Structure 1
Amino acid sequence: MKILNILILDDDLTQLELLKAMFSRIEYPRCNPVFTADAASFSEQLASFPFDLVITDYYMPDKSGSEILDLVKNERPDCEVIVLTSGTSTTEAIELMKRGAYDFIIKPISSEVLLNRITKIFELKNLLQENDSLLKAIGSKEIPFSNQIIFQSQTMKEVINIASRAARTDANILIQGESGTGKELFARGIHYSSKRKHKPFVTVNIAALPETLIESELFGHVKGAFTGADSDHTGLFEQSEGGTLFIDEAGEIPLHIQTKLLRILQFGELQKVGSGKIKWIDIRVIAATNKNLEELVQKGLFREDLYYRLNVIPLYIPPLRARKEDIIPLVEHYIEEICEKHQRDKVTLTDEAAFLLTNYSYPGNIRELENIIEYAIALSRGNVITRNELPAILQREIPGIQSVSGSLENNYEESMEAFESRLITEALESASGNQSAAARTLGISERKLRSRMAILGLKNPFR
């Protein structure tokens, strides 16, 4: 989705003008707002165009917020609804949320709150579109994950092959890899390639939960189970019934909770906090961690039997520095995505910038690469990213580049040719003379490598 189409209804013309001013200042996400002050015009607009979102006042002279919600859901079931309400009518607004409204905003409207709600809906719509595309791809027997993961390396091809085969089973999976390697992306791909794809995919990051709430969030609780438990709470396991629960940062699960988790994995037994009743559930668990669980087992911080229950199919995602062939395809993907997000012309890379990006170690992996590209695009004045737009850490990390760059003022051509010759020679030596592999390491095509070798008078030392 590139643009969020929004229909806005409010009979208060002053409020409508205020909303127009707010939307005029929103740069991301891209919005196409249509404003109307009466219910009749609203109904005509709604019937004539597939809007993604409706923002409506709760109190209207000719239609109530409840009637507006019913109209939208009957006419456009996939359209989200946000209700604008005064502080005195929040109870009614909450009732509308129970009946299908996405959220409500209390007047006077804050531009920050409005932007937050709109951004969440935009990202939700995009996620649903991606899921639909993946399901269609699976239905048409396309390669799973092909539309989700950018890769070129043989290493990632093997990882994706394992994940694709694992998706056809019902076994639990343990995804291991450094932070930022895309573990949740793989978990989603596995779920939507499995027989559970039409059931819920629920995620939880253990590290993001206070330890006192982890048990209640995972297993649920009954009313009166502890102070503040004023009503029954459905836990994430129960919400995942029939589908998949993705447990991120599994190495952070406290020991006393690991026992209850083990019973679910072994017997499918779920017991809510404060309840003596057992409920049997059918779910698949995909866990992920950036820690070495075997070491935690040896230190007594993680149950060995739970580790083996989770690690039925191990899946290791290598760090970005171990698959340099994937870096430039990922860079090109993020350039296109970020330029579209900021509504600017697409930029290109100089060879030197491509080399720096290819040879950086990326301790933050793909997440860090995306941030670097957004940083470079923000700093670029034209349509080309040079080394000057890249963070200084990339240049400091690569041996030799500082000393060469320091001599550029004296003899630019000579310095650059010497620098390039050394890079090509080192790449050929590391690839044992394989020019195709050397070109991938340098982030250029083999044809360009041959051309530069001819211009620089270089010969393959292995031939």
Structure 2
Amino acid sequence: MQQTPNKNNQATILLADDDEDIRLALALLLSSQGYKTIEAANAKEVITQTNRQNPDLILLDMNFSRDTTSGQEGLEILAQLKNNDIPIILMTAWANVELAVNGLKQGASDFIEKPWNKAKLLNSINQQLSFKKIKQEHQGYQTLLSEKQSNKNQTWISQSDAMKQIEQLIEQIAPTDANILILGENGTGKSQLAKRIHQFSSRQDKPLISVNMAAIPDNLFESELFGHQKGAFTDAKKNRIGRFQLADQGTLFFDEIGSLPFNLQPKLLRVLETGEYEVLGSSQTQNTNSRLISATNAELSKLVNEGLFRQDLLYRLNTLVITLPPLRERLEDIKPLADTFIDQFCTKYHKSILSLSSDALTKLKQHTWPGNIRELSHAIERAVLLSTNEEITAQALLLDNTNSQDSGIALQPLEQAERQLIEKALSVSSGQVIEAAKRLEISRNALYRRLEKFGIKYES
């Protein structure tokens, strides 16, 4: 049966064979089916062409110049290529079951005997390329499955009145598909809340894809969210699946949404309004159906007034708003949270389970927790490592007394206190903005905005 040429198939196939006539015959056959071909006549050229051209598939002869029957040279080349994630079809005129099994064990995708059957060869090539495409499109799913399992086991503490109200709100809004904006200080558990909303939603069996918006370089924004095709730009050596496609039918979580640069906001707004986008390097419009949850510690309404955040984008994000309370406003949750962290870190560091002494609990409740739950976790981890007795004492917590509720901190305007903190962070960071942002536990972009706001000079 004559094969129908695949005019849309632009896959590149490397023909690795020391026989020029073999390479020519394969090139004519594959080009008639719409494939591009490149050639390699020896082992060295195979490795060089693979590294330079990054072909979509390799047809690899088993025997080159060393001998004509053993297949060992082909197996050695195969061993060098197995980490390239490229399907390899082995070819030899001296086929035997043992050699085929060895090749498949070392990572080959299939085995073809020469002289080949055209239909069988083309079918094998098409099948391996299809498998590769499926693998690329689902490359993030294994990670998603492990994240999903860990999400089921996450601990959610809601004993305080403030958190009980949040829990009631979750039960109401999680089953809907409405976009949700989560507000709260750094370390209050915004990402954990996003996971919990997803668990109670109608999309709980679909992926939850998280994106840290502050961590995406401007030039990679479209690639990260919408994906790109091979060759779309320099270094685009493989197809990439975007976060919107991975989150299709599931939930997409945008963390630190307030740090998104203004010039990139229209691109995000368009897909939120229409559900449509284009993969970078393709003119075909794609559609996405994902539930959006966003989070930020920034005052988005203030950023809108300052011309740093689009109001129409804010309207798309804040259909429903949940504000997580800081830890100092949920004191009833401190002990169960601390106990949970103690269990986790004792297990992690292979220590007997420790108890929390009464003076340590008092110390925890007196602390103002500027870093909230994240800071509490770090304090407990440190205490678990330092404790030599059966209980954690107040001394083992190593909490600064000047940061406690009874420390007599002078009240002052919030903006004045914010400026002082930023100046102090820059001072201890020798003027390095990135390091100062880490110490303040805010994004680099968020710190730059505050530096401009207060007119504070910094090293560029």
TM-score by length of 2: 0.56
Are the aligned partners of 2:226 and 2:242 in contact in 1 as well (CA < 8 Å)? yes
Instruction: State the secondary structure of the residue aligned to 2:279.
Output: coil
Question: Does 2:232 match 1:225?
Answer: yes
Bigger mean CA offset, 225-234 vs 180-189? 225-234
Q: How do 1:428-439 and structure 2 match up within 5 A? A: none
Superposed CA RMSD in Å reads 2.9
Among 142, 145, 155, the alignment partner of 2:162 is 155
Q: Which residue pairs with 1:325 in the alignment?
A: 332
Instruction: Determine which of 212, 220, 224 is the counterpart of 1:213.
Output: 220
Once the two structures are TM-superposed, the CA of residue 152 in structure 1 deviates from its matched residue by: 1.0
Distance 1:87 1:382 in 2: 58
Q: 1:223 to 1:129 in 2, by over 3 A?
A: closer
Whether 1:268 and 2:275 are equivalent positions in the alignment is yes
Shift of 1:397: 3.1
The answer for unaligned runs of 5 or more in structure 2 is 1-75, 89-106, 108-142, 409-460
Correspondence for 1:194 = 201
Q: Secondary structure of the equivalent of 1:363?
A: coil
Q: Who is 2:114 aligned against?
A: none
* Other structure's SS at 1:287 match: strand
Give the Cα separation in 2 of the matches to 1:269 and 1:320. Answer: 40
Aligned match for 1:316, one of 283, 301, 323: 323
Question: What displacement does 1:90 show?
Answer: 5.0
- Distance in 1, Cα, partners of 2:380 & 2:232: 49
Name the amino acid aligned to 1:254. P
- Tell me, in whole angstroms, the C-alpha distance in 2 between the residues paired with 1:378 and 1:124: 31
Counterpart mapping for 1:58-97 below 5 A:
89-95=79-85
Partner of 2:310: 303
Note the 1:245-394 alignment, pairs <5 A. 245-394=252-401
Per the TM alignment, residue 168 of structure 1 is displaced from its structure 2 partner at its CA by: 0.9
Q: Which deviations, in whole Å up to 9, do the C-alpha atoms of 1:370-418 show, x marking residues without a partner?
A: 11011112111211222221214146635379xxxxxxxxxxxxxxxxx
Deviation of 1:95 after TM superposition, in Å, equals 3.7
Q: Residues 151 and 330 of structure 1 are in contact (CA less than 8 Å); yes or no, is this contact kept in structure 2?
A: no
Q: Given that residues 357 and 394 in structure 1 are in contact (C-alpha distance below 8 angstroms), is that contact kept between their aligned partners in structure 2?
A: no
1:278 deviates by 1.6
Distance in 2 of aligned mates of 1:333 and 1:171: 32
* Cα 1:369/1:273, change in 2 over 3 Å: same
Q: Distance in 2 between matches of 1:97 and 1:250?
A: 39
Q: What does residue 242 of structure 1 align with? A: 249
Cα deviation digits, residues 226-252 of structure 1 (max 9, x gap): 222234322111111111111111111
Once the two structures are superposed, the pairs formed by residues 44-63 of structure 1 within 5 Å of their partners are none
Work out the CA distance in 2 between the residues paired with 1:384 and 1:87: 59
Cα distance in 2 for residues equivalent to 1:96 and 1:277: 26
Rounded Cα–Cα distance in structure 2 between residues aligned with 1:239 and 1:186: 20
Q: Amino acid of the residue matched to residue 259 of structure 1?
A: P
How many residue pairs match? The answer is 282
Residue by residue, what CA displacement relative to the aligned partner does 1:30-52 show, whole Å, maximum 9, x if unpaired? xxxxxxxxxxxxxxxxxxxxxxx
Q: Could you tell me which residue of structure 1 aligns to residue 47 of structure 2?
A: none
Cα offsets for 1:249-289 (capped at 9, x unmatched): 11111222211211211111112234333212111111111
Aligned match of 1:116? none
- Equivalence for 1:454: none
Which residues of structure 1 form unaligned runs of 5+?
1-85, 99-103, 105-122, 134-146, 402-463
2:174–2:200 CA contact under 8 A, matched in 1: yes
Question: Displacement, 1:96?
Answer: 8.8
The answer to whether the Cα contact below 8 Å between 1:356 and 1:398 also exists between their aligned partners in 2 is: no
Q: Is the 8 A contact 1:324 1:359 kept in 2?
A: no
Q: What's the secondary structure of 2:314's corresponding residue?
A: helix
Task: Output the amino acid matched with 1:379.
Answer: L
Letter in 2 for 1:368: E
- The higher radius of gyration belongs to 2
SS at match of 1:174: strand
Q: C-alpha offsets along residues 322-349 of structure 1, whole Å, 9 cap, x if unaligned?
A: 1111111111111122112222222222
- What's the CA shift string for 1:279-320, capped at 9, x where partnerless? 121111111111111111111111100101010011111111
The Cα shift of 1:151 comes to 2.4
- Match for 2:250: what amino acid? G
| Identity of matched residues, % | 42
Structure 2 equivalent of residue 182 of structure 1: 189
Give the drift of 1:186. 1.1
2:155 counterpart SS class: coil
C-alpha spacing 1:340/1:232, structure 2 compared with 1 (3 Å): closer
Q: When the two structures are superposed, what TM-score results if normalisation uses the length of structure 1?
A: 0.56
Q: Deviations over 1:131-179 (max 9, x none)?
A: 456xxxxxxxxxxxxx631121010011121122111100111111111
Which stretch of the first structure deviates more once superposed, 360-369 or 387-396? Answer: 387-396
- SS of 2:201's equivalent in the other structure is coil
